[in-house]
Amino acid sequence: MNRFDYAQAQDGAEAVRLGSATGARFLAGGTNLVDLMKENVERPVSVIDIQRLPFAAIAELDGGGLRLGALATNADTAYDPRVAERYPLLASAILAGASPQLRNRATNGGNLNQRTRCYYFYDTATACNKREPGSGCGALGGVTRIHAILGASEQCIATHPSDMCVALAALEATVRVEGPDGERTIPFADYHRLPGDDPARDNTLAPGELVTGIDLPAEGFATHFTYLKLRDRLSYAFALVSVAVAMKVGVDGRIETARVALGGVAHKPWRVPEAEAMLVGAMPSHEAFAGVARRLLEGAVGRGDNEFKIELARRAIVRALQQAADGTPQSQIDKRVA
């Protein structure tokens, strides 16, 4: 680990001021940042500890939504009775991630901003445009089992590893940010970015901008939802493919609203509004769900080891849509998908 300055921010404004300096990094739970510092991947000039800031509450919003503080832990968020009852898709996605110990420490803001798990990003002996812009991409032509099949570029084929973010995308959450130019909100779809020719940037935050909270809209899709996560082993593993579905079904059995977000396949949670629109007014059926899967995966490209993900994703989408329509969400305790 390199030498770095350390400061404890006393309020949001101070965090933003200190965090705007070149080479500064915010420290929340530290479960990702400290790991990356130990691996010599992150070499901050200064670490701004934000753990004492007053952003750990979960509070009701006017109009029926809920505000999740950026510093609320993943565990406190998933087990908050309002989240569990009104936004079970989010609770389920959080509980599908990491381990109880990590979720007790990891924060919501940190989860949004965690870096990719690409092996080459972690290995400083290899080329990586995300870690060292312009150095190349070790994954291209390398081992690609966990890499992207959608939205990638010739500069970077990494995926975003978060489970929570896949549910937040389907719920159409809003990210609240405080920065040098004041406060602003970012719709979740615009928060993470595709790699293009600038893979070093994972999201659309400006330098110094601090996430203070995440707003959930009033509609939580508490009856018809699922978070289906497929991984190499049942615990402690990132998604190869995951699917969050939020759905509303009318009294006549027809689908009124459908949202589908994919994890593990791209640089950001992957949504295709046209695919979701195909379900509006339809009766739940294998054929309808297979059509949605085809549309969602249009343009999917495998690169050697990860080609299996295209068929895996297709099947996972159909299964997740069926689970949501049936009102039988995937259990994160019994993770079998028999």
Would you tell me which residues interact with ligand FAD (CB under 6 A)?
Answer: 25-33, 35, 50, 70, 74, 97-98, 102, 105-107, 109-111, 113-114, 161-164, 210-211, 236, 238
Residue with Cβ nearer ligand FAD (228 or 278): 228
Q: Which does 130 bind (CB under 5 to 8 A by kind): ligand SF4, ligand FAD, none?
A: ligand SF4
Shortest Cβ 307–ligand FAD spacing (Å): 23
Among 15, 36, 41, 158, binds ligand SF4 (CB under 6 A): 158
Shortest Cβ 138–ligand SF4 spacing (Å): 5
SS (H, E, C) 58-124: EEECCCCCEEEECCCEHHHHHHCHHHHHHCHHHHHHHHCCCCHHHHHHCEHHHHHHCCCCCHHHHCC
Token readout for 147 is 């890499």
Shortest Cβ 130–ligand SF4 spacing (Å): 4
CA nearest neighbour of 88 among 236, 246, 234: 246
Q: Which does 199 bind (CB under 5 to 8 A by kind): ligand SF4, ligand FAD, none?
A: ligand SF4
Residue with Cβ nearer ligand SF4 (117 or 254): 117
CA nearest neighbour of 239 among 229, 247, 249, 226: 229
Phi and psi based region of residue 99 (left: phi greater than 0; alpha: psi -120 to 50; beta: remaining): beta
Asked if 9 and 15 count as a contact pair (C-beta separation under 8 A), the reply is yes
Residue with Cβ nearer ligand FAD (226 or 325): 226
Asked if 7 and 18 count as a contact pair (C-beta separation under 8 A), the reply is yes
Shortest Cβ 149–ligand SF4 spacing (Å): 13
Shortest Cβ 120–ligand SF4 spacing (Å): 3
Residue with Cβ nearer ligand FAD (185 or 223): 185
Pinpoint the alpha helices (H) of the chain.
12-19, 33-38, 74-79, 81-86, 88-95, 100-105, 108-113, 119-122, 164-171, 273-277, 286-296, 308-326
What would the x/- binding string for ligand SF4 be over residues 187 to 206, using CB under 6 A?
Answer: ------------x-------
157 is a contact residue toward ligand SF4 (CB under 6 A): yes
24 is a contact residue toward ligand SF4 (CB under 6 A): no
Token readout for 223 is 């009856």
Q: Which residues pair with 49 in a beta bridge?
A: 8, 27
What would the x/- binding string for ligand SF4 be over residues 98 to 137, using CB under 6 A?
Answer: ------------------x-x-xx------xxx------x
Q: Which does 158 bind (CB under 5 to 8 A by kind): ligand FAD, ligand SF4, none?
A: ligand SF4
Q: Which does 121 bind (CB under 5 to 8 A by kind): ligand FAD, ligand SF4, none?
A: ligand SF4
Task: Find tokens 């200190």 and name the residue.
Answer: 18
- Count of alpha carbons within 13 Å of 57, Cβ hemisphere only? 5
Asked if 297 and 310 count as a contact pair (C-beta separation under 8 A), the reply is yes
149 is a contact residue toward ligand SF4 (CB under 6 A): no
Residue with Cβ nearer ligand FAD (74 or 306): 74
66 is a contact residue toward ligand SF4 (CB under 6 A): no
CB count in 10 Å sphere of residue 142: 17
- What per-residue string of b and e applies to 53-76 under the rule 16 or more CB within 10 Å gives b? bebbebeeeeeebbbbbbbbbbbb
Q: Which residues bind ligand SF4 (CB under 6 A)?
A: 116, 118, 120-121, 128-130, 137-139, 156-158, 199
